[in-house]
Amino acid sequence: MDNFILHLKDGILSLKSWVINMYYTKIRRPQYRNTLKFAVITDPHYLYDPEDDPEHEDATQGSRLFWKSGGKLDHFVERINSMSDDLKCVIGLGDMIDSYNSENDTSGFFDRWDNIQIPKEMTIGNHDVAGIDDISDLESGFGYESRDKNAGSRFNQSLSIDNDFISAKIILVDTTINHEGEHNARIYGYMSESVRGWVESEIDNSNADIFFVGLHHGPHDYTLNGSDYFDEDDAKAYESMVQNRDERIITLHGHNHYKQNRIAHDNLDIIGRIAPATVERNPSYFMIVEITPNGKVIYNNSLVKY
Ligand SMILES: [Fe+2]
């Protein structure tokens, strides 16, 4: 009887995957085939001490489940690698680590991140820079010490992806540098004139069909809930830059965990919701961004369980 139930379960699962496969390959309209895909993770807040220990005093903080941070990363990496034929890259939008200091052994994060088998790139957030004595510690910790500095940061980096139908450039911006050029751990983000100039040069130097700007603090959040999340002058200058360019520019950000519903798209129209912070609750999410050959962009949240 038990065997019968197991075979029945296998049969149902096989039928389910056959239906899903048929949907994507035969039924789904042609414009949704041949899409260009990448994954986005934000705010995993990896913390070593309570890893796997729900009784640890730092195991949880509100709905942040630090004790699951390693397990969730394991599951995330497993999911990404299972989709490696289909995904062009993974980007991380900061607060990858809850704090980078001598008390948080961050090797658990990097061991997992290094296991991702497709191109990957990340920028940093306020928690990554929290507690650092010297930015070079963070640069070497993240393996960025040999990168060139762009507009004052080795975490200003870009990558390009394409398929036979469409191309995209992803520009990752470090929003933790204040106007004095120093990294700081404020909840308040910056994008100084030199950084905006670098972003524009990255756009000027590319023939991509579509551009994504990925950053930790959301420039559109500068008046959110009456509290500042971004330097207002910088945010307005960025918005003006995006509005005045002919290229299609989509802004993706992390940081505020549950209010990340502002994807600026085609002159900043708000069109969708990006995945909330991976540290929050369980299950949580990462996001798959899918670009169709005719330029439609689809955002799907994907589960991370532990
Ligand atoms: Fe943050």
Task: Please provide the DSSP assignment of 116-174 as one string.
Answer: --S-EEEE--HHHHTT-S-HHHHHHHTT-TTSPPBTTBTT-EEEEEE-SS-EEEEEEE-
Give distance in angstroms: CA of 97 to centre of ligand 1: 10
Q: What is the pLDDT of residue 170?
A: 98
| pLDDT tens digits, one per residue of 212-235 | 999 999 888 877 766 678 999 999
Which residues, at least 6 apart from 282, have a Cβ–Cβ distance to it below 8 Å?
65, 68, 72, 305, 306
The pTM of the full predicted model, rounded to 2 decimals, is 0.89
Give distance in angstroms: CA of 294 to centre of ligand 1: 34
Q: What is the pLDDT of residue 64?
A: 94
Give distance in angstroms: CA of 12 to centre of ligand 1: 42
Q: What is the pLDDT of residue 23?
A: 63
What average pLDDT does the segment 93-108 reach? Answer: 89
Give distance in angstroms: CA of 51 to centre of ligand 1: 20
Give distance in angstroms: CA of 126 to centre of ligand 1: 5
Q: Give the pLDDT band of residue 103 (cuts 50, 70, 90).
A: confident
Give distance in angstroms: CA of 127 to centre of ligand 1: 6
Q: Give the pLDDT band of residue 29 (cuts 50, 70, 90).
A: low
Are 125 and 95 within 8 A, CB to CB? yes
- Give the C-alpha separation, 66 to 61, whole Å: 8
Identify the DSSP state of 61: E
Q: What is the pLDDT of residue 7?
A: 61
Give distance in angstroms: CA of 4 to centre of ligand 1: 51
Give distance in angstroms: CA of 206 to centre of ligand 1: 29
Give distance in angstroms: CA of 129 to centre of ligand 1: 10
Q: Give the pLDDT band of residue 11 (cuts 50, 70, 90).
A: low
Across the beta sheet with 284-291, the strand order is: 120-123, 90-93, 36-41, 284-291, 297-304
The more confident residue out of 187 and 148 is: 148
Give distance in angstroms: CA of 8 to centre of ligand 1: 46
CA 235 to the chain's CA centroid: 20
Give distance in angstroms: CA of 245 to centre of ligand 1: 28
Are 207 and 222 within 8 A, CB to CB? no
Give distance in angstroms: CA of 249 to centre of ligand 1: 22
Which residues, at least 6 apart from 17, have a Cβ–Cβ distance to it below 8 Å?
none
Give distance in angstroms: CA of 188 to centre of ligand 1: 9
Tokens of 243: 């509005």
Give distance in angstroms: CA of 123 to centre of ligand 1: 11
| pLDDT over 90 at 20, yes or no | no
What is the DSSP secondary-structure string of 199-253? HHHHHHT---SEEEEEESS-GGGTTGGGS-SB-HHHHHHHHHHHHH-SS-EEEEE
Bond preceding residue 283 cis, omega within 30 of 0: yes
Are 257 and 274 within 8 A, CB to CB? no
Give distance in angstroms: CA of 2 to centre of ligand 1: 49
Q: Whose structure tokens read 């990752």?
A: 172
Q: What is the pLDDT of residue 295?
A: 92
What average pLDDT does the segment 52-56 reach? Answer: 95
> β-strand 90-93 against 120-123: which pairing, if any?
parallel
Give distance in angstroms: CA of 165 to centre of ligand 1: 35
Mean pLDDT for the chain? 88
Nearest to 51 by CA among 92, 93, 126, 111: 111
Give distance in angstroms: CA of 16 to centre of ligand 1: 39
Q: What is the pLDDT of residue 10?
A: 53
Q: Give the pLDDT band of residue 127 (cuts 50, 70, 90).
A: very high
Tokens of 275: 């995945």
Give distance in angstroms: CA of 254 to centre of ligand 1: 7
Give distance in angstroms: CA of 64 to centre of ligand 1: 13
CA atoms within 13 A on the CB side of 3: 0
Residue 294, helix vs strand vs coil: coil
For domain 34-304, give its CATH number from 3.40.50.720, 3.60.21.10, 3.30.390.30, 3.40.50.1110: 3.60.21.10
Give distance in angstroms: CA of 23 to centre of ligand 1: 38
Q: Give the pLDDT band of residue 257 (cuts 50, 70, 90).
A: confident
